[in-house]
Structure 1
């Protein structure tokens, strides 16, 4: 019962309430504070990357004593379903929201709605074009694209014809990674992008598209696959066509399949992120925002180029397997 309700009752039954309180020693017992809740909504509930994000978030939820709800769509291209999920949890009454957005602009109204309701929003992995976002936690995707481009230049002696296998058209991460590649190669005439195509983060479709592109462009020197699904699809197809090693593959992320193919020489290098840290720092930062603490506007979780030579270095092992430390 709220204090103003008690005050109202005292006004009507002053003498009776005074006698009761004296009889009980005048003690007032407050209800214990309930555990706060944070909802983590990701692009897709499937895949190694998002499972690792979840592990990091769960570790932080235990440490900071908050209840964590993990949810997401089954398709990274399904923006409407993600918006519906955000609205559902806002109606339910969560205390904080962590969002890996499926769209840079279309999720902005949902973030504004959360802010009006007093629910702080932290974004991870993908940004949202909204000033109401308290903090973004993730990599610099433009710089990651540049690093991928530099590695491919090294692998091919700064010349060749290349395919960019991208994921979701319109995704800010996809656009920034590809822009980093193209800008890095702008001053190197020998590095030519013959085609860029999207496979919607479906590894089966990414493999099919890889075959279509290689049938169309038989003299390709390399493929840059810009997320895990694209990397897995491209690697499987190169192996199936027996063109692995002949066509250089620079990938993204560090699924178990990718690390195995890295050792086998099907993938020459991969750009790794730190999804465990994204999940952990997402919860930590959301808790701080819920407690009205100042939080950084951006936290760069870093990326690194991993190849067969450096993948067993101790520092790189910590990035590849952060959850076993």
Structure 2
């Protein structure tokens, strides 16, 4: 009797372990399962959009454009990636998409070193890759769709020169120091202001693509360099984070703040005068055109390898925007 009870206990323990393993590996094979589901519903193609982080407001706008295009062209679209910016997780998701032989992949080319081999691997398996927002020009990616990031930074620098007078001590906060698009935005800004003796670039620090990271970086810089009277934030949440610090320290009136993107909070901060200007990208359009481009590539059409979306500067006088945070929506 005791042996029967022991066997039953062991059986339920093994069953529980089996369920846990099944759930774990089910997550790891979601791409393959999704492809089977797509085939059953008779979608035209199965594409995957891999963002830098899935719940970032900017990338949700890219997703929105991609989903609208997917609906238009009868595409099964997956939106998958790290919850917070994580290079290893991003690469793992990319590799899983390749392994499941999806019909097309859209992703950032954050780092040439890590992403070029994966992009080339996908191309070798005849899976077209479109880079979005951040290019990987040394790879075999088929098309890049997004901002000319160097030009965007240069445009921010030109606007900064127009908007300011006198000595400016600038703190730069960037999303990730190792991300190629962030580097280009900083480089462009520096080149635009380098011949102006009144502009002094103090230091560049990282926000890790989070508002909290921008708050911490801005606070530390102001405490360490009290002469700072201007900030330039190069990723979507940097402006709001810097603005929070300027409000807390009562430095809004004496600090010029150049932000990036038109998220709703950024627009509100421009309207109230806390942020002076922002660089406008078109994330919705990037997502829409990325899906559309993959469809054209699957049909054998030749596409321009680089397709830059428009970049402009918005100040308070330019508001209201028709679609704050969703600039570039197709109609």
Give the TM-score normalised by structure 1. 0.85
Name the CA distance, whole Å, in 2 between partners of 1:211 and 1:247: 13
- Taking a change above 3 Å as real, the CA distance of residues 319 and 50 of structure 1, as seen in their structure-2 partners, is closer
Using the alignment, how far apart are the partners of 1:39 and 1:198 within structure 2? Answer: 29
Q: Classify 1:274/1:34 alpha carbon distance in 2 versus 1 (closer, same or farther; 3 Å).
A: closer
Given that 1:54 and 1:70 are in contact with CA atoms closer than 8 Å, whether structure 2 keeps it comes out as yes
Cα distance 1:138–1:322, how it changes in 2: closer, same or farther (>3 A)?
A: closer
Show the 5 A alignment for 1:164-175.
164-175=172-183
1:154 corresponds to which of 162, 174, 177: 162
Question: What is the CA deviation profile of residues 115-166 of structure 1, one whole-angstrom value per residue up to 9, with x for unaligned ones?
Answer: 1111010111011144411100011111111111112212222631111111
Whether 1:138 aligns to 2:153 is no
Say which of 196, 202, 224 aligns to 1:216: 224
Q: Which residue of 1 aligns with 2:201?
A: 193
Residue 66 of structure 2, aligned match among 37, 57, 78 = 57
Counterpart in 1 of 2:99? Answer: 91
Partner residue, 2:117 = 109
> What are the Cα deviations for residues 231-251 of structure 1, in whole angstroms up to 9, with x where unaligned?
121011111111112101000
Distance 2:235 2:156 in 1: 12
Q: Does structure 1 retain, via aligned residues, the 8 Å contact 2:174–2:206?
A: yes
One of 309, 314, 321 as aligned partner of 2:317: 309
Contact 1:82–1:102 (Cα < 8 Å) also in 2: no
Q: Deviations over 1:259-302 (max 9, x none)?
A: 10000000000001000000000000011111111111011111
Q: Which runs of 5+ in 2 are unaligned?
A: 1-40
Contact persistence 1:90–1:114 (CA under 8 A): yes
Q: CA deviation at 1:75?
A: 2.6
Q: Which ranges of structure 1 fall in alignment gaps of 5 or more residues?
A: 1-31
- The count of aligned residue pairs is 292
Rg larger in 1 or in 2? 1
1:205 aligns with 2:210: no
Correspondence for 2:81: 72
Residue 313 of structure 2 is aligned to residue 300 of structure 1: no
